Amino acid sequence: MKKSLSQKPARKPRSSQFAMTPAMEARMQKAMVSIGNIADKQARKDDKIQREARLAIAETFDAWLDWMEETAPEQVEDVFFELGCFATATNRRRMFKHANAPEGVAERAQEQVDQWKAEEEAAKAAAAEEAQGKFGDAEGHA
């Protein structure tokens, strides 16, 4: 006759619930507020540094443009063209009212922006057409 295997007593499952005491919750809340305050202070400090850096660039830009007009006038037009290409439409209009903005660069920048938009729209249309073609092929095989 076979010996029956003795069964081990079933273990009591551990409680997966962790209950925080009110004191623990209060300490946790205080710590979270402290972390939030530190993060906020650091973010404001970083924002101030970036604001000051942009202001320093803006204040130096006119002097740099004057120097560029004397040493390399063709580069002034390139700078305005490149800035105009990446600016928003509103900033582009404002930018080309600058006293040092060369004649005709606004039109060149607008033509470039329009060309990029047309290329982007053509690429989207081609991608949509290709996706539609794949979808049509998948339905045709079904």
What distance in Å separates the CA atoms of residue 100 and residue 66, rounded to the nearest whole number? 8
pLDDT at position 50 is: 97
Quote the CA–CA distance of 96 and 93 in Å, as a whole number.
6
- Residue 13 has a pLDDT of 66
Average pLDDT over residues 96-118: 93
Check: CB of residue 68 under 8 Å from CB of residue 84.
no
In the chain, the percentage of residues whose pLDDT exceeds 90 is 70
pLDDT average, residue stretch 37-46: 97
> With 80 as the cut, is the pLDDT of residue 115 above it?
yes
For residues 102-114, give the mean pLDDT.
93
Which pLDDT does position 138 carry in this prediction? 60
- On whether the pTM is more than 0.75, the answer is no
d(Cα 67, Cα 72) in Å, to the nearest integer?
8
